[in-house]
Amino acid sequence: MSECVKFSFRGQEIVAEAGQSVGAALIAAGHRSWRTTRREGAPRGVFCGIGVCFDCLVVVNGKPGRRACLTEVLPGDVVEPQEGAGRGELSC
């Protein structure tokens, strides 16, 4: 139906539909979690899906703290898991 958008996750190429969120594209590609929590290092992915909960934080093009459920995937995006608060960079 839609155009395709290619992006990378953990160095692997993923094909998404244009307009999908990073979170939706990752789930469609079979990924359920891409963040570890600050205190316990527990795995997390999408929970609320609409920008309320912040469970789905992800690093997009080097910027940590992006909400995967709200961030539209763009061609060539480099997506990495987020550990804790986001590699100490917090430039978001």
Name the site residues for other proteins (rule: CB under 8 A). Answer: 1-2, 17-21, 24-25, 27-28, 32-33, 37-40, 42-55, 57, 69-70, 72, 92
**Strand arrangement of the beta sheet that strand 57-60 belongs to:** 12-17, 4-9, 78-80, 57-60, 63-67
Least CB distance to other proteins at residue 76 (A): 20
Considering all CA atoms of the chain, what is the largest pairwise distance in Å, rounded to the nearest integer? Answer: 42
Least CB distance to other proteins at residue 48 (A): 5
Q: How many CB atoms sit inside 10 A of residue 21's CB?
A: 20
Least CB distance to other proteins at residue 27 (A): 6
Q: Closer CB to other proteins, residue 12 or residue 63?
A: 63
